[in-house]
Structures are given as C-alpha cells and as structure tokens.
Amino acid sequence: MASIGETPYEWSIDSDVLAWGGNATEVLAVGSLAAISSGRNYAKLFAPDATTSRFDAVMKSSARDEGPGVLYQVQYALHPAGAENALWIEDIGRWVAGANGKPERAHGIVRVINDRHDQEERLTYLSRFDGLTGEMNRFHLTEVLEATLKQALAQRNSCGFMLVAIDNLARISESYGFDVADEAIGAVAKRLRAKMRGGDQLGRFSGNKFGVILNNCTPEDIEKAAERLVAGVRDDIIRTGAGPVAATVTIGGVTAPRHASNVQEILARAQETLDRAKAKRPGSYQIYRPNVERETLRRENVRAADEIVTALNERRILLAFEPVVETASRKPAFHECLMCIRRSDGALVPASAVVPVAERLGLVRLLDHRVLELLVSEMSAVPGLIASVNVAPASTTDPDWWSTLGALLRANAGVAERLIVEITESATIHDIDDTRGFVSCVKDLGCRIAIDDFGSGYTSFRNLRKLGVDILKIDGAFVQNLMRTGDDHAFVQALVDLANRLGLKTVAEWVQDEDSAQLLAEWGCDYLQGALIGLAAVERPWGGAAPADRRKTARA
C-alpha cells in the first residue's frame, strides 16, 4: 500500500478511535498520527466547501447490514494544516453494524486522487461548457433554455432566444487559418457577453453560432437586444495573431411562449428567422413573426413529402411522353420523357406540380432514380424508341444515380445510343467544371446531352462550347410569344443562328402555332416541341406490347 500511495484505517465508532496504517502521515500530509487519531480530529481537516464525508457515508446510510457489512465509497477534499492546496481523497470501505443494527465500526482504504479529480472536473466542465469560449455548450444551453421557458410559463411572463451566426467564418478560416478563425470566435463571444443584460445567458450553439437566452423580455426587448449585439460585434475590428479581422453577425430571434411553446419550436423558429435574415442581408437581424402563408406552406410540404414517398413505395410513378418532331418533315425525332404521379384516388399529378416540391424537400433524387429505371425498361422493350429524360442538378453529383445509370445501360444493350440526358441551364452555370465532368461521363456511356430551358440563365456560348453538349432546347418562355414580342423574336433568332454555327441541334419548346413553326423553320431550328405538335400523355405513342410497368401506365 505504501508503494502505491494508499493507507488503511479502522474506525471504532463508539469510541471514535481512528487507527491508521504506518504511511498515513505521508499519504495525508499531516505532521503526526495524533492529528488524525479520532473521527473528530480527522473531520477538522475537511475543506470548508466539502459536501460529503466518511461520516455521512457511514452514519447516514439507509442500507442495512445483513452480515458481511455495508460497502461505501465517497470522495471528499481535505486541507491539512500548512498544505497549499486541498487533497482530494477517495475513501472506500465497509461498515459493520452492532447488535442494535447501527454502525459500530468501519474499515477501509484512502488514496489521494488529485490528478484524477482534476481530469474528472475537466471532463465535467467540457460536458457543459465550450472549451474555446468558456460559454455554455449546446447541451447545457438547451437545458437552461428549457428551465427558463418553464419559469416563464409558471410566472406568466415571456422569455426570448436568439441565434447569433458569425458571417463568413469559413472565408476567415480559409484566408487566415483555423487558429485565426478560433480567435475570431472567442472575440465575438466576449463582445456578445459585454453587450448582454445581467441575468441573460450565452452559449455556443454550433461552429459559427451562439445562442442567447433573454429572461423576462418582450418582442420589443429582444429587438433592441439584437440591434445592440449586431452593433457590438460590427463596430470594431478584431485583433488577431495574423492581423485585424472584420466580423459581423446575423441574428434570428423568437419570443416564447408567445411564438413557440417548447424548446424544439424555439430552436426551429430561431433558425428559420436567422435563415431569412441571412437571405435578406448578412449583418442584420430579424425577429420571428407568425406568417399564415408560411405555416400553410410548411403543412403542405409535409403532406407532399408523404404523398411522394408513398407513391414511390406503391410504385405509382408513371411516365408521360411528349413528342419532339423534325421541323421540316414534322416526323417524330424523339420523345421527352416526363414524370407524373397517380394519386390514390386515380387522378394524375403532372411533373410541374411535383418536381419543384420534390427539389425543395430533397426528394427529387429518389424520383430521378425511379424515372430512369422505368424509362430504360421502356426503351429496352421498344427498340425504336428514342427518348430524353430530365435530370435534377442534385442527381448529377449523386454517386447512386451514376451507378444506377451505368448498371442499367450495361444490362440493356442498345439503349445508350437512343437515350438523351437533359440538364437545366441553371445546373450548368452552378459549377461549369463539375458539369463538364458530368457531360463527359454521360457521353462516354454512349448517350447524348441536351441543355434544357436554355436562355433562362446566363451561360455564355464559350462555356457552351466547352461543355460539349449535343442539343440546345430553347426556353419556351421566349418561344411562346415569338410572333407578338420583338425582343423574343430577336433573341430566339440569335440563339438558333449561334447554335447552328457551333454545330448544335436546336429544339424550340412551347411552340403554340403554325406561324411560329414556319418562322423557326426559316431560321434553321432543327426540332419543334409544344402544343402545336402534341402534349405529353401517359398513353404510348407507338405500337407494340407494353412491359408490365407500362401496362399500368397505359391503363392509367
């Protein structure tokens, strides 16, 4: 025991005699054993702030001695005379009852655990506080927020919560390094703390976000607080090891229980308001206000998401085909494959009503997978079918979509050269290098590439040439008013002429009348699509037997 820094003891409770091992003076840093020869003397060494003791563990135990004694384990702090720092002690022992059932004697072992106690204290601290800023971490912050809300409900007043986001922290990190970004985070925390009211709480919510809890505040109070915090961070530069750094914050706030009845609603609405403030202008603030249209849209999103997922699970995703014809002969060149959903009541919901919602909810990738499977199956069953399919921007970088496309084309020989993959112009201008990679991979598989809705974005013809696409589909918003609007007339004519010079095939969408078709033919537009030619339909526009999935579509 001496070699490992432990010492035994035996305590006779009736006489209060406390006997120790020979190394007790060294372990406990006392001058002599006489200083700790009784329970009372030993108790005099306890630090003033000690909350537990051996006496408590033994004499206040609710357990009963059934024969072998009762085990106890307790930690406490001693402060021997002359010692600079307290000693943290781990005391493990067993007390034995006398004839009356009460503790009669106890014996055990004590050891000094200062290093372990410091580590435990550090871990306890980090479980509740942020190591960088010293403020509450997210877990502790939400605990305090819940307690604050309960108090506000009990006292029938209100509280507030703000999410404070440091703007462009990633840019600071990229420009100066992670250590400077950490300095900026710490400095912002100090500035926020300096501008807060007494009694309000601050915590680090996530990497670049802080949470501020305001007690007993009205919507007007939280707005004034937000204005004060925004100005407090913005009005002076931050001095860092790499030099001065400018930082601003954007804030979204909410009052409770007026506009949120629980912690989950508080956090969600604060985040929602923060997002709106960022979209409007970084370095600003917004306070949550109820919005009937927004709440209705949210409920509609939930309903739509459920309907889309259910339709996928029940295989109620159908294909519709819209013909694209050669301008001169009006013979079908290919068909654009569109998607629709058959609702549970049998009604058909077109792609225009589904895809925007699916993109907003992150479900369009699942729809793209299903449409691709159905289309390849149809093209395999109908060898003469040439078809195009739209791919959402999210799917162009989705490894699962790529693996599905490759596997389907390998398993269905002869389909690739008849398949045209359409990507929107907005997808091409988002990241031209990624789009070039996508185009290259699709063409390597044997497919052709078309850019859909061209003219709605800002793709330059230089980038268009770099992409190496095959077909240009002119946005129908310009084509439908071709005969009535001079600007559209000039724009479409220029697009067709430049596309011809670049060796690209052109498709005019939304062709409504014969006069427009004749004019497009004069300009050299290769293909026509729209109401004049024929609208999309789930019925098969060609003969032959339909595969199993298509029979369902045909009946629908």
Burial 137-156 (b: 16+ CB within 10 A, else e): beebbbeebeebbeebeeee
Q: What is the pLDDT of residue 472?
A: 93
Q: What is the pLDDT of residue 548?
A: 36
Strand partners, 74: 91
Q: What is the pLDDT of residues 350-381, one digit of tens each?
A: 888 888 888 888 888 999 999 999 999 999 99
Q: What is the pLDDT of residues 147-195, one digit of tens each?
A: 999 999 999 999 999 999 999 999 999 888 999 999 999 999 999 999 9
| C-alpha closest to that of 420 among 443, 453, 397, 392 | 443
CA atoms within 13 A on the CB side of 535: 3
Domain 300-555 homologous superfamily, CATH: EAL domain (3.20.20.450)
Is pLDDT above 50 for 545? Answer: no
Tokens of 387: 């078809």
Each domain of the chain, given as residue ranges in start order, spans 2-121, 130-290, 300-555
Which residues, in sequence order, are CB contacts of 199 under 8 Å at separation 6+?
Answer: 215
Q: What is the pLDDT of residues 400-429, one digit of tens each?
A: 888 999 999 999 999 999 999 998 866 555
Q: What is the pLDDT of residue 457?
A: 58
Average pLDDT of the segment spanning 230-236? 93
Could you tell me what percent of the chain has a pLDDT over 90? Answer: 62
Is pLDDT above 90 for 388? Answer: yes
Residue 299 pLDDT level (bands cut at 50, 70, 90): confident
Average pLDDT of the segment spanning 376-404? 90
CATH of 2-121, one of 3.90.180.10, 3.40.50.720, 3.90.79.10, 3.30.450.20: 3.30.450.20
d(CA 368, CA 362): 11
| C-alpha closest to that of 335 among 348, 347, 325, 349 | 325
Q: In terms of C-beta density within 10 A (0-12 exposed, 13-18 middle, 19 or more buried), how is residue 42 classed?
A: buried
Other CB atoms within 10 A of residue 467 CB = 19
Q: What is the pLDDT of residues 318-344, one digit of tens each?
A: 999 999 999 999 999 999 999 989 888
Q: What is the pLDDT of residue 306?
A: 87
DSSP β-ladder status, 238-240 and 87-97: unpaired
Is pLDDT above 80 for 441? Answer: yes
Kindly report the pTM of this predicted structure: 0.61
Between 301 and 189, whose confidence is greater? 189
Average pLDDT of the segment spanning 243-262? 93
Average pLDDT of the segment spanning 6-24? 94
Lowest mean pLDDT among 59-73, 140-154, 219-233, 345-359: 345-359
Could you tell me what percent of the chain has a pLDDT over 70? Answer: 94
Q: Per residue, what are the HEC states of 247-291? A: CCEEEEEEEECCCCCCHHHHHHHHHHHHHHHHHHCCCCEEECCCC
Average pLDDT, the chain: 88
Lowest mean pLDDT among 74-83, 84-93, 360-369, 448-457: 448-457
Fold assignment, 130-290: Alpha-Beta Plaits (3.30.70)
